[in-house]
Amino acid sequence: MPSNFTVHGSADVQSNDIGAGTTIWQSVTVLPRARIGSDVNINAQCFVENDVVIGDRVTIKCGVYVWDGIRLGNDVFVGPNVTFSNDKFPRSKAYPEAFLQTVVEDGASIGAAAVLLPGIVIGQGAMIGAGAVVTRSVPPYAIVTGNPARIVGYVENAASPGGAVKSTSVRAPEQLLDARAHVGVSGVTLHRLKRVHDMRGDLSVGEFPRDIPFDPKRYFLVFNVPSEETRGEHAHHKCHQFLICVRGKCSVVVDDGKVRCEIALESPETGLYLPPLTWGIQYKYSSDAMLLVFASDEYDADDYIRNYAEFVEITKQKNGL
């Protein structure tokens, strides 16, 4: 047995593909083809099957069974008694041709006794609450709780790996004193649109491009969104967008790869401008919410960036990092 990692005398470790500095504690079983990185800590009473990849600096607390198809990235935390699964329709003595992969990306944390259904991706830096039942993929840096798990927020910068992404929040229009204000995310601005009060009703108006900083070629409306659903989760290479919640309220998370900000849109006199290369997420829709979005370009599927890691790399290249 190589000496660059530590194994308790009661453990049954059959794999040699284990990185330096890893510690495996009491009554842990690791099957021969499992791959485990460096500085990993696997606590007592765990089981690691064959088709498993565990990255560096991962912590797995007691009572976790890591089945075939599980992929844990670097710096992942798995709380005690977390339940992974790899077959949506299990039958005794019946095996699929291939088990579904569940991927937990770098820096994500999974709280005690959470349950993860197979075939999902837990995004970079995400936080899964204790006891959550996760039935579908979780976006990067999202916080999810409950059964079924739903997004309740996004992690603050203290919880982001390395503190690389700073996070703030803005509530509009109470904090919007000027007609246009920067929110701290590159190029993103919050706009106060004109509102006219009249005994016959209220009117809110904006002009292109004086109030809304581009001439639109397209608009779309988002409405009847269940409160647990999340929209957006993408950026654009070239397209500019301007968002107005014309009825009800919703929250928008904007991210330039270095700074993240959450903005509450609660009034038709408040607009939010998103330049290209802004990662945008909309969630916390009220039951009556209607979100109006103006776009500078016609629909082009190739203009979308749907993978957050790819988005971060593109922004780094743009900034010469």
Catalytic residue flag (residue 234): yes
Q: Given a cut of 60, is residue 231 above it in pLDDT?
A: yes
For the sheet with 166-171, list strands across it: 166-171, 259-265, 250-255, 279-283, 231-236, 304-305
Contact (Cβ atoms closer than 8 angstroms) between residue 106 and residue 94: no
Looking at residue 164, its pLDDT comes to: 47
Looking at residue 161, its pLDDT comes to: 41
Task: Give the residue among 261, 317, 249, 314 at the shortest CA–CA distance from 285.
Answer: 249
How many Å apart are CA 126 and CA 192, to the nearest integer? 33
Structure tokens of 161?
């790996």
Query: pLDDT tens, 17-27?
Result: 999 999 999 99
Task: Give the active site residue among 182, 191, 234, 237.
Answer: 234
- Which range, 64-68, 88-92, 222-226, is most confident? 64-68
Contact (Cβ atoms closer than 8 angstroms) between residue 73 and residue 105: yes
Q: Given a cut of 80, is residue 321 above it in pLDDT?
A: no
Looking at residue 207, its pLDDT comes to: 87
Max alpha carbon distance in the chain (Å)? 84
Average per-residue pLDDT in the chain? 90
Looking at residue 215, its pLDDT comes to: 94
Looking at residue 1, its pLDDT comes to: 46
DSSP conformational letter for 138: B
Q: Given a cut of 70, is residue 118 above it in pLDDT?
A: yes
Looking at residue 201, its pLDDT comes to: 87
Looking at residue 197, its pLDDT comes to: 81
**Hey, what domains does the chain have and what are their CATH numbers?**
1-164 (2.160.10.10), 166-318 (2.60.120.10)
Task: Using pLDDT thresholds of 50, 70 and 90, give the confidence band for residue 165.
Answer: low
Q: Given a cut of 70, is residue 3 above it in pLDDT?
A: no
Q: Say what percent of the chain tops pLDDT 70.
A: 92
How many Å apart are CA 245 and CA 222, to the nearest integer? 9
Higher local confidence (pLDDT), 158 or 97 = 97
Looking at residue 204, its pLDDT comes to: 87
